[in-house]
Amino acid sequence: MLEDSIFGILALFLMLGAIMAIWSKESVLSLFGFLIAMLAMAGLFALLDNSFLFLAQIMVSVGAIVVLSLMVVTTINMKEENLPDEPYKLRWVLFGTVLVAPFSLLMYKSLLTVHKSFTQTKEGYGTLKTVGETLFSKWVLPFEIVSVLLLAAMLAAIVIARKEVTKKSNQQGGER
């Protein structure tokens, strides 16, 4: 009973965060909605007793993606007048909902027919220790390559944003 209540609360936060991320006009508030959704997803992983996915969700989605996105959004400093006019946004959301609804119903019906019993996993499978040993022994090179690519993407976003700010300030300074 308690697990069901916690699941309901986390699912509610997940849905509200996702809706806030989609519908908010302010980019910082949209990122805050994304943060709420990712924290709720991490809570769902913790509810499933999956400590690795819980910590990975916190470190990667919340710790890296949200912070990086927040830094890029504040660096770019988007203004309302620079955003495109979206008069048909509600229509597109409704169209997407109608398009996805049959697939969601099909998935729901298929999940109802799946057997409720699962095979037991080996002791220690999916723990932080085994995942860490595998990641830093067999997968260390791809792990480091991804980290360097993410760093390069972050630096490129900052350089591109700074060039536009510098161009605008030089144009405004020349007009005076």
CATH code of 15's domain: 1.20.120.1200
Number of domains making up the chain: 2
Tell me the pLDDT tens digit for each residue of 157-168: 888 877 765 666
Residue 106 belongs to some domain of the structure: no
Please say whether the beta carbons of 32 and 66 come within 8 A: no
- Specify whether 75 is located in the same domain as 2: yes
Residue 86 belongs to some domain of the structure: no
Is pLDDT of 29 > 80? yes
Residue 100 belongs to some domain of the structure: no
Residue 18 belongs to some domain of the structure: yes
Taking residues 31-49, what's their average pLDDT?
Answer: 91
Residue 99 belongs to some domain of the structure: no
Residue 117 belongs to some domain of the structure: no
Residue 87 belongs to some domain of the structure: no
C-alpha closest to that of 52 among 154, 114, 121, 127: 127
For 11, 19, 95, 102, 145, the CA distances from 16, given in Å and listed in that order, are 9, 5, 20, 22, 35
Is pLDDT of 175 > 60? no
- Specify whether 55 is located in the same domain as 130: no
Q: Write down the mean pLDDT value for the chain.
A: 84
* Domain boundaries, position 25: 1-81
- Interacting residues of 51 by C-beta distance below 8 A, sequence separation 6+: 127, 128
What is the Cα–Cα distance from 133 to 23, expressed in whole angstroms?
A: 41
What's the pLDDT score for residue 164? 63
Is pLDDT of 42 > 80? yes
- Specify whether 4 is located in the same domain as 76: yes
What's the pLDDT score for residue 104? 92
Better-scored residue on pLDDT, 69 or 104: 104
What's the pLDDT score for residue 88? 87
Residue 96 belongs to some domain of the structure: no
Is pLDDT of 176 > 60? no
Tell me the pLDDT tens digit for each residue of 85-102: 788 888 988 999 999 999
Taking residues 137-159, what's their average pLDDT?
Answer: 89
